[in-house]
């Protein structure tokens, strides 16, 4: 039997997936599991999207153009303009979800051995896509004490080598919910400019910023227009993760030409997903406002609840729908597994994502978990009670 690739061996398995069999076992025993571990919103997909789906009237479900459907891309130009992101239709390439946008951006820009600097904790799948193209992720820890703010720019500079090719940010951040300030974005711009790096900017949570300030996109940064490669997705903003539609947006024509080689190799992004995503751009403001207010309420409720539990701490995230919280436990991996396999409270338990999967530096964040507030408040309330009871009962409790 031939060996699998070394690349495959070095690919980390999803930090959450390891817990899935335990969750399934709990469910099979009749235990209700509150999923605080996933980024799948429970909110309905906009009606205008569902209507478009029902009215698809075609004889052949054919390939779309490799770069995406033109009318969809044109409409996206207007969408971005509402965020003061000014792009031409040529700057937009449609991808199969934000995941493919990350993979193709890396493929087009990074060679084996090239280094990307990323603040950690960071979205775990960046690591997977970096490994796919042989690139090396170098991380700089951010800290729960200051709400996971951008590490000092000196920390970035200390990591720069001749192989440094890019900085990667996720803003608002998954997993921390942190939203970069103007000052932080300016610091990122300065270092990108100084060392002429790519700036991969994952902005899929742009709709979910809970400050009154306007959103700051990497596209707003002056003087690095050809360095910025924006990764986007419609998944979260319209609660339509399953349609797999994302985008790469860049003013850098060389990057676009190169990305297109991968787009052509995979022929076409999903046709029906694009039809739905295009229709979603007409989602009424009332829907977006409703979703926004709902997340703010959930956030406030969750964070207050967490901080009331003895030994727990969560900063107040200003964006996205996640927080990274500190728990009074010896090891969050063990605790999360224990919640699913050895604990229940009134027939219920919780599933959380241990933060270890979001750190590259070994050993840090061991008492942290990522909690998504994609459940309704009633369920969040119950989940918080279960979490508190679990912490009281957990043998590895550390106060």
ω before 182 within 30° of 0 (cis)?
Answer: no
Within 369-398, which residues bind its own copies (CB under 8 A)?
A: none
Strand locations in 336-395 (E): 348-351, 353-354, 368-372
Within 106-165, which residues bind its own copies (CB under 8 A)?
A: 107-112, 114, 125, 128-129, 132-134, 165
Find the binder of its own copies among 22, 23, 93, 103 (CB under 8 A): 103
- Four-CA torsion 307, 312, 316, 321, nearest 10 degrees: -110
As measured in angstroms, the least distance from the Cβ of 60 to its own copies is 6
215 vs 373 by CB, closer to its own copies: 373
Within 47-76, which residues bind its own copies (CB under 8 A)?
A: 49-50, 53-54, 56, 58-64, 66
27 vs 63 by CB, closer to its own copies: 63
**Count of residues touching its own copies (by CB under 8 A):** 80
254 vs 289 by CB, closer to its own copies: 254
173 vs 274 by CB, closer to its own copies: 274
In the structure encoding, which two tokens stand for residue 174, read together?
Answer: 């998954």
ω before 287 within 30° of 0 (cis)?
Answer: no
The interface mask with its own copies, positions 9-38, x = CB under 8 A, is x-xxxx--x---------------------
Exposed/middle/buried for residue 366 (C-beta within 10 Å: 0-12, 13-18, 19+): middle
166 vs 332 by CB, closer to its own copies: 166
212 vs 378 by CB, closer to its own copies: 378
Please list, residue by residue across 353-365, b when 16 or more beta carbons sit within 10 angstroms of its beta carbon and e when fewer do.
Answer: bbbbbbbbeeebb
Note whether 89 binds its own copies by CB under 8 A: no
Q: How far apart are CA 167 and CA 190, in angstroms?
A: 12
Exposed/middle/buried for residue 330 (C-beta within 10 Å: 0-12, 13-18, 19+): middle
Within 302-331, which residues bind its own copies (CB under 8 A)?
A: none
Find the binder of its own copies among 31, 40, 153, 331 (CB under 8 A): 40
Within 328-347, which residues bind its own copies (CB under 8 A)?
A: none
Q: How far apart are CA 148 and CA 171, in angstroms?
A: 12
Instruction: Please state whether beta strands 322-326 and 32-35 pair in parallel, antiparallel, or not at all (unpaired).
Output: unpaired
Angle, nearest 10°, between helix axes 47-54 and 271-280? 140
Among 265, 262, 320, CA closest to 291: 320
As measured in angstroms, the least distance from the Cβ of 284 to its own copies is 17
As measured in angstroms, the least distance from the Cβ of 245 to its own copies is 9
Find where tokens 């043998």 sit: 395
Within 180-219, which residues bind its own copies (CB under 8 A)?
A: 196-198
Find the binder of its own copies among 7, 25, 27, 74 (CB under 8 A): 7
Within 242-281, which residues bind its own copies (CB under 8 A)?
A: 242-244, 252, 254-255, 258, 261-262, 264-273, 276
As measured in angstroms, the least distance from the Cβ of 307 to its own copies is 30
Note whether 45 binds its own copies by CB under 8 A: yes
As measured in angstroms, the least distance from the Cβ of 35 to its own copies is 12
As measured in angstroms, the least distance from the Cβ of 257 to its own copies is 8
Find where tokens 């891309």 sit: 73
115 vs 344 by CB, closer to its own copies: 115
166 vs 216 by CB, closer to its own copies: 166
Find the binder of its own copies among 97, 177, 317, 319 (CB under 8 A): 97
As measured in angstroms, the least distance from the Cβ of 98 to its own copies is 9
CA distances from 133 to 83, 105, 116, 245, 262 (A): 32, 10, 12, 22, 13
H/E element holding 233?
A: strand 228-233
H/E element holding 92?
A: strand 92-95
Q: How far apart are CA 226 and CA 189, in angstroms?
A: 12
As measured in angstroms, the least distance from the Cβ of 59 to its own copies is 5
């Amino acid at each position: 039997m031939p060996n699998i690739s070394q690349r495959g061996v070095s690919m980390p398995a999803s930090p959450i997936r390891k817990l899935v069999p335990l969750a399934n076992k709990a469910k099979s025993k009749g235990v209700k599991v509150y999923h605080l571990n996933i980024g799948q919103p429970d909110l309905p997909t906009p009606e205008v999207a569902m209507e478009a789906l029902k009215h698809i009237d075609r004889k052949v479900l054919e390939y779309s153009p490799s770069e995406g459907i033109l009318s969809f891309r044109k409409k996206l130009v207007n969408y971005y303009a509402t965020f003061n992101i000014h792009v031409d239709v040529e700057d937009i390439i449609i991808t199969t979800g934000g995941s493919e946008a990350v993979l193709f951006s890396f493929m087009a820009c990074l060679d084996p051995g090239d280094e990307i600097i990323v603040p950690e904790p960071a979205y775990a799948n960046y690591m997977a896509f970096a490994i796919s193209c042989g690139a090396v992720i170098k991380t700089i820890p951010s800290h729960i004490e200051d709400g996971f703010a951008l590490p000092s720019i000196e920390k970035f500079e200390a990591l720069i080598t001749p192989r440094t090719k890019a900085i990667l940010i996720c803003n608002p951040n998954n997993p921390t919910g942190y939203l970069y300030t103007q000052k932080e974005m300016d610091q990122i711009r300065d270092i990108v400019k100084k060392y002429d790096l790519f700036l991969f900017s994952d902005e899929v949570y742009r709709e979910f910023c809970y400050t009154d300030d306007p959103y700051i996109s990497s596209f707003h940064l002056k003087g690095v227009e050809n360095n910025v490669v924006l990764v986007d997705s419609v998944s979260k903003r319209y609660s339509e993760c399953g349609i797999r539609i994302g985008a790469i947006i860049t003013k850098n024509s060389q990057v676009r030409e190169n990305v297109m080689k991968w787009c052509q190799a995979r022929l076409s992004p999903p046709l029906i997903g694009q039809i739905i995503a295009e229709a979603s751009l007409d989602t009424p403001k009332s829907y977006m406002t409703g979703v926004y207010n709902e997340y703010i309420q959930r956030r406030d409720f969750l964070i207050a609840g967490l901080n009331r539990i003895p030994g727990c701490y969560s900063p107040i995230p200003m964006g996205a729908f996640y927080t990274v919280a500190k728990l009074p436990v010896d090891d969050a991996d063990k605790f999360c597994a224990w919640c699913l396999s050895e604990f229940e409270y009134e027939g219920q338990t919780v599933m959380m994502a241990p933060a270890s999967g979001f750190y590259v530096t070994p050993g840090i964040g061991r008492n942290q978990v990522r909690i998504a507030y994609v459940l309704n408040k009633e369920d969040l309330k119950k989940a918080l009670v279960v979490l508190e009871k679990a912490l009281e009962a957990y043998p590895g409790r550390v106060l």
